[in-house]
Structure 1
Amino acid sequence: MLNIARLSDDKVDTHYRGLSLSSHFQPIFSIAHGRAVGYEGLIRAHRPDGTAEPPAGLLSIPCNGRECLDLDRTCRTLHVHNFARQATGEAWLFLNLNSQYLVSEQPDIGFTRDLLQTSGIAAHRLVIEIIESEVSDHAQLKHFVSHFRQLGCLIAIDDFGAGHSNFDRIWDLEPDIVKIDRRLIQDAGQSRRVERILTGIVSLLHEAGSLVVVEGVETEHEALVAIAANADMIQGFYFAKPQARIDAEQSFATTFDNLLRGQQWQSVKRNADLQHYVSGIEGLFHRAVTHFVTHQHFEQSSAVLFSDPRMVRCYLLNAEGYQVSRNVYAPHYQQQMNARFAPLLCGDHANWSHKHYHYRALKQPGIIQISRPYLSVADSRMCITVSQTVVVGGTLYVFCCDLNWQEP
């Protein structure tokens, strides 16, 4: 068992190869609750002269798998004992587990059980963080995950989205929590395209039954992106840096109230931007629909819209969603068409009944519908679809036109 030295009633440390090791804890916040619901234990090392030893330097000291496992256990023991000495209510303790050496060395699996017993920490308050991409022996990894679950611990996949992470492990390991790698939130903070990808990843993880933590949040904008992506929890320097002592009484309610209001304002602004973007097209669209009702010539009616440089294509659907006209392209857009997507450019007899612009038009007959930006299967470009039902010769149609969408 770890040889710990008591520094005070709420703090202990230990020594390893001439270094002094201590625990720091970074809070993990529930966005909905606006408070810390967990703390990640992080190791800090100092040389005898008091200067800090970087974590990479500490982790490079062990010479083999057994020594790496011993250091890993030393860190976990230190974190558990320091956490147990502080007032944290029912908060979780997130512990990084070096699953690579756990699998390669195959130690006695009773270590964590004994650690919980000696510290007095309930198993359900321990979240075991695993970097799933580190381990090639998946069967052995599942064996250890099953052991921790039987103890009553929660399982978290760490750094998801980095390296060789894939959803196969998520389906198989069924983690309680998935922590999104910080690189993804940094990229999402700079790119609307990556932001949409992040939202999709969070949605898939929720469908898999996992809660989602976005870690590495360092700016207000990144926090807003994480909230907009529907993450459950959030962690990063923007809220709090790791500290040796946990201040469970510190309130972050105002911070999260402001962020949630900011996210709502951004959503309103994006809707306003979208409305502004298409404001000039509604008059043209009304003229085109009226022309079609009067003359019953779809291609001529579509030409009314092509004076707008954003216009891409027009097409006509029936009530069942089948495309009953060919795609009519704006002349200025035909020069930009990408031959690589030739198999998808022809929409004849395609069925678009599953698309929002079709069923929304049917739900509100005679009212112009404007979609959110989405990726068009026709040419793999972002677009907005304007649609409306129209009755011609006793038959109901949905008149559609696509506008090219450029990210702000």
Structure 2
Amino acid sequence: MLNTVVSQPEFKGMPMQQLQDADQTSLYVTADYHHLTLSSHFQPIFSISHRRPVGYEGLIRAVDTQKHSHSPLELLAIPQTGVENLSLDRLCRRLHMHNFARQPNGEAWLFLNLNSQCLVSERPDAGFMNNLFEQTGISPHRVVIEILESEIDDRHYLRNLIRHFRDLGCLIAIDDFGAGHSNFDRIWELEPDIVKIDRSMIRGAGTSSRVERILTGVVSLIHEAGSLVIIEGVETEREALVAIAANADMVQGFYFAKPQPRITQNLKFAEVIDHLLKIQQRQRFKNSHQMNQDFKKIESLFRQAVSEFSITNAFDTSTNILFIEKRAVRCYLLDEVGFQMARNVYSPHYQQKMDTRFTPLLSGDNANWSHKHYHFRAIEHPGEMQVSRPYLSVADSRMCITVSQTVVVHNKLYVFCCDLDWQDD
């Protein structure tokens, strides 16, 4: 019974109340705290592949006697000592777990935020969460503890804290990764079950293809480290599409659902995901079609250039054929084992835009490119034109695509390469 919960020492002066919900027979729990009424809201966390919510983050809400809302930041500014911070943190966790237990949530996870700073200063005992599990009937494996790792400088204590919650049976999530001073070394060291990527990254990726590529790389690295990825703060259709394209496992944000005190069955999410996937499929088809159209002209010019070189053995002259295409940046010739046989030949159009800051990288003399995909793929498929994916060229630090093909001249095998400018529109 909650009356027994209220009497525990850490809640002295913070009585919890039961309020009858007019629409349901279940009881919804609130708490009085410094003339504010605190309550729980839950925001769904959706699995993209499963097309349904698989978890809910517990979020605190506060209103005063005049029913005016106070932000979480205002609430968190009230405690003046570490002990008071810990008491408020525990009060919030208790509210969320009791309210979560009283609602239809299936087997979904409950995500709980911890006030990392007060945990460091107070070093509380391990009994609190065990008592909550017993009181609410929520199994530890259904609780995900969110830790803002950037707030804890004591790495030894942070590891022990995570070990403690893991020993209880909880999952661990690193929150707000990508904001502030988040570092990948914490991911390798702490091995969280889940990493939540901060809103700032999806906001940037929604407007910049460059940031979108970075986000995709970050998700890939986190997966390589063995953690699932949630992209939080998704607020627009464009951001939702980017999150899906980045291969996130789960998404959270206002675009999908806002925090609510009551957990309801969200049947629309599957429809939303299906809608997004259809948009993505259409965009992929459009991009593929456009790329195919672009490459029809490039392919024709490239084959002419390779043919010209095979007949005349005049590399510089043969490259002029390719430079009719404005995307063509540079051509270079490699031998069978990847050594560059001559200097780069640059398009006259591109020479006007050369960035002299990268002068040390512009010359390919004595370079060996055998480790690059455009070389070894051409060697593996002699006589067939190879087209790379967009990548960052070391020659000038710009995104490019390389077209390559083997060609035999005087019984010697070469790889003819042409880099195409592939900057974002």
Q: TM-score, normalised by structure 1?
A: 0.96
The reply to whether residue 253 of structure 1 matches residue 288 of structure 2 is no
Q: For 1:315 and 1:31, how far apart are their aligned partners in 2?
A: 44
* Structure 1 residues 185-264: aligned runs within 5 Å: 185-248=202-265, 250-264=267-281
Q: Give SS of 1:307's match.
A: coil
Q: Is the 8 Å Cα contact of residues 391 and 401 (structure 2) preserved in structure 1?
A: yes
CA deviation after TM superposition for structure 1 residue 10, in Å: 4.2
Amino acid at match of 1:137: D
Partner Cα separation in structure 2 for residue 144 and residue 75 of structure 1: 19
Map 1:384-403; keep pairs closer than 5 Å: 384-403=401-420
**C-alpha separation between the residues in 2 aligned to 1:386 and 1:265?**
26
- Structure 2: which 5+ runs fail to align? 1-7, 21-25
CA contact (8 A) 1:35 1:251 kept: no
1:217–1:236 Cα contact (<8 Å) kept: yes
What SS does the aligned partner of 1:196 have? helix
- What one-letter code is carried by the residue in structure 2 that aligns with 1:127? V
Q: Which residue of 1 aligns with 2:4?
A: none
Pick from 327, 331, 337: which aligns with 2:344? Answer: 327
Write the distance in 2 (CA, Å) between the matches of 1:231 and 1:76: 27
Aligned equivalent of 1:6: 18
Write the distance in 2 (CA, Å) between the matches of 1:263 and 1:22: 39
CA displacement at 1:254 relative to structure 2:
1.7
Contact 2:398 2:423 in 1 (8 A): no
- One-letter code of the match for 1:4? M
After superposition, what is the alpha-carbon deviation per residue over 1:41-82, rounded to whole angstroms, capped at 9, x for unaligned?
Answer: 000101111121122211111112221111111101100010
SS in 2 for 1:23: strand
SS at match of 1:38: strand
- Which deviates more, 338-347 or 358-367? 358-367
Supply the AA of the counterpart residue of 2:200: R
Query: Match for 1:120: what amino acid?
Result: G
- Superposed CA RMSD in Å reads 1.5
Normalising by structure 2, we get a TM-score of: 0.92
Q: Secondary structure at the match of 2:283?
A: helix
Aligned with residue 47 of structure 2, among 18, 30, 33: 30
In the TM superposition, residue 249 of structure 1 has moved relative to its aligned partner by 5.7
- How far is 1:251 from its partner? 4.6
**Distance verdict in 2 for CA 1:189–1:249, change over 3 Å:** closer
For residue 379 of structure 2, the aligned residue among 345, 362, 370 is 362
Q: How does 1:164-183 map to 2 (within 5 A)?
A: 164-183=181-200
Aligned partner of 1:304 in structure 2 is 321
Determine the structure 2 residue equivalent to 1:265: 282
Task: Note the alpha carbon deviations across 1:151-202, whole angstroms, 9 max, x for none.
Answer: 0100000000000000111111110000000011010000000000000000
Would you say 1:278 and 2:295 are equivalent positions? yes
Question: Which of 31, 36, 42 in structure 1 is aligned with 2:59?
Answer: 42
Q: Which 10-residue stretch deviates more, 27-36 or 390-399?
A: 390-399
Q: Is residue 105 of structure 1 aligned with residue 122 of structure 2?
A: yes
Alignment-derived partner of residue 122 in structure 1:
139
State the SS of the aligned residue for 1:169: helix
Mapped partners of 1:377, 1:54: distance in 2:
48
SS of match in other structure, 2:97 = helix
Q: Is residue 99–residue 141 contact of structure 1 (8 Å, CA) maintained in 2?
A: no
